[in-house]
A = this chain, B = another copy of it.
Amino acid sequence: MAKVSIAGATGYTGIELLRLLVKHPEVEIVTLTAESHAGKNIAEVAPSLKGWLDQTLVKLSPEVAQGCDVLFLALPHTISMQHVPELLQSGRKIIDLSADYRLHDAQVYGDWYKTPHLNPELLSKAVYGLPELHRKKIKQAQLVANPGCYPTGAILALAPLIQQHWVDGQSIIIDSKSGVSGAGRKLSQTTQFCEANESVAAYGLGEHRHTPEIEQELSGLAGQGITVSFSPHLMPMTRGLLTTAYVPLKKSMDRQALHDHFAKFYKNERFVRVLEAGRYANTAHVAGSNFCDIGVQVDTRNNRAILTSAIDNLMKGASSQAIQNMNLMLGIDETTGLDAPPLFP
């Protein structure tokens, strides 16, 4: 039994980690931290977990890492990198759900996050935790940077085409639609019920911080620079992230051929489900699960592939993917504690 602890246990990704970890057969939950709620019982702040956990929340300190085998950091970006160097000295495995170690280039981090990276030397040490692309490296890593929700959905939808060089790498458009939980549990005007309900709007067009993460991974796959227009939108729902990607095809293909390529590409991936040609991914069909559903379509009039991918942003977009990474790092079956059907309706 591996001992696991969570820093930032009372946010949505923290609570989701806990929901999964209490049922995980190979781990024992040790310490839970929360800065503002320190001193309270976890079930008081997360009533859904009443009867499952009884820890008193503490503040994050180096001892938290020392007391466990795997430490999840469910902290805001820029906060993670304040703690990681010291935590790494414990020798324990760390899975960081923030954005702080996802980018390989400190300059790019500084440009998009508007603050210098505090420990750029660690960026080359961190592995980007998308198992479908980096499984081997993840198994060896001490520090895994868990992908953002938008990049997870976008990269999985695009990887099979990018890898084949069938697309024009400067004309990709990614239009994403996220549930409100993607914004986290902290208070904000935008995420108040009456502002988000019955509201659909874009935000951060062409400026969102997940853009360089998507470009880094797609460029790596392509072996050449890829740029994308990435447009996030906020949807009036709690969970779910749909990505619609528009890709000009270099060669003419029908949707069945495209489907077959995707099906082959992902045939050994338990958590990617390629839908039959002509069906569209739907966030309602992956809720509460680690699955990414992908639908393929071709706009034959314009010879453009239109891909849709659906994930649960708190699961494959955050917490269950983090546990998938943990399983790999611990050398146990990758699907342990994760292989369950979505909740529908």
Residues of B within 8 A of A192 (CB): 185, 187, 191-193
Residues A194 and B238 in contact, CB atoms below 8 Å apart = yes
State the CA gap A242–B343 with chains docked (Å): 20
Residues of B within 8 A of A177 (CB): 177, 200, 233, 235
Known: A50-B273, A205-B280, A306-B205. A235 touches B236 (CB 8 A): yes
Chain A, interface size category, equals 35 or more
Query: Does A251 reach chain B (CB closer than 8 Å)?
Result: no
Residues B197 and A235 in contact, CB atoms below 8 Å apart = no
Residues A302 and B343 in contact, CB atoms below 8 Å apart = no
Closest CB in chain B relative to A266 CB, distance in Å: 11
Residues A302 and B170 in contact, CB atoms below 8 Å apart = yes
Q: Which of B205, B227, B237 contacts A297 (CB 8 A)?
A: B205
Residues of B within 8 A of A231 (CB): 175, 244, 246, 306
* Contacts from A to B (Cβ < 8 Å): 12, 15, 18-19, 22-23, 46-52, 170-171, 173, 175, 177, 179-181, 185, 187-189, 191-203, 205-206, 227, 229, 231, 233, 235-240, 242, 244, 246, 248, 273, 275, 279-289, 291, 293, 295, 297-302, 304, 306, 308, 310, 340-345
